[in-house]
Amino acid sequence: MKIDGKSKLCGLIGKPVEHTMSPLIHNTLSEILGKNMVYVPFLVEEDLKSAVEGAYALNIRGLNITVPYKEKVVDLLKEIDPLAGQIGAVNTLCKTEGGYVGYNTDMTGLYRAFCSEGIKIQGEKVIILGAGGAARSVACLCSHYKAAQIFILNRNVEKAKLVAEEINALQEEPLVFPMALEEFDQLPKEKMLCIQATSVGLAPCEERVVIENQSFYERIHTGYDLIYRPANTRFMQLVKAQGGRAFHGLKMLLYQGIEAYEIWNECRVEESLCNTIYEKMKGEMGIEE
């Protein structure tokens, strides 16, 4: 890769950043597409404001934002995209005159991952496991794309109620229904889409799962785990054991990066190239499917 005075610089701000796969996505895209753009990770220990202001002063075209700064960065931006505003978190910045504009490509990337797997949201009844930041974002996405009903199941039902109240306030009638985990038997007696939006099951605790009872998984026609390491979580195993389809979150990671790249370069990445990058990511992780 040639780097010169005309090279466009983009990167990642977060803590930690050592294990990120984002450089693989962006630098491979630039190499294949012949774009003079370089992507590097930046470890920011604590002074996010100085990091964002310094990036702007250095003419850094775009930044991805990862934990723990996705919410904190919002107050430092010139403006934010409406979907990112509804979600309350930003993971992509693009330099404009007077400051950075913020986007949430995590959720648009998740939607694109769904589309690539033939998973639809519109008109679907959706179960979301968890009520943290990721679950709230997923609930916003499902609301945006016209899910029929959304059930948020969480150990702490009060947290689920807060998410439900926030999203329902924007609806003409209640769309989101909070439930305690042990109340899953009160769900509609039909097959639904289920999105696993907690950190339960992350390596090295691969055998953990939010709900173990197999009767819960009989209600799921498609399960999507936002976790991508391991590539076959306990949640996915239980969904498949009851005849459902199950997916890990690596394509979400892929497409959030693709969407950020498209914003920074004002281009559209063809699906065939997305597939090429995805195969390279799987190879990096040692995933065979």
pLDDT tens string 62-92: 999 999 999 999 999 999 999 899 889 999 9
Question: Given this structure, which CATH class describes domain 8-103+251-285?
Answer: alpha beta
Q: What is the pLDDT of residues 170-182, one digit of tens each?
A: 888 999 999 999 9
More confident residue, 239 or 204: 239
* pLDDT in the model for residue 198: 95
| 2 band by pLDDT with thresholds 50, 70 and 90 | confident
Q: What is the pLDDT of residue 172?
A: 87
Whether a cis peptide bond, with omega within 30° of 0, leads into 230 is yes
Average of per-residue pLDDT across 42-47: 96
Percentage of the chain modeled with pLDDT above 70: 100
Topology of domain 108-248 in CATH is Rossmann fold (3.40.50)
How much is the pTM?
A: 0.93
Cα 165 to Cα 152: distance, rounded to the nearest angstrom: 11
Tell me: pLDDT of 241 over 90. yes
Instruction: Indicate the SS3 state at residue 116.
Output: helix
Catalytic annotation, residues: 70
For residue 205, what pLDDT band results from cuts at 50, 70 and 90? confident
Domain edges within the chain:
8-103+251-285, 108-248
288, pLDDT greater than 80: no
Q: Give the closest residue to 141 by CA, choosing from 100, 191, 82, 183.
A: 82
Say if 8-103+251-285 and 108-248 have the same CATH topology: yes
Q: Residue by residue, what is the 3-state secondary structure of 132-189?
A: CHHHHHHHHHHHHCCCCEEEEEECCHHHHHHHHHHHHCCCCCCCEEEEEHHHHHHCCC
46 by Cβ neighbours in 10 Å (0-12 / 13-18 / 19+) ranks as exposed
Residues 115-146 pLDDT 10s: 999 999 999 999 999 999 899 999 999 999 99
**Whole-number percent of the chain with pLDDT over 90:** 92
Give the model confidence (pLDDT) of 144-153 as tens digits.
999 999 999 9
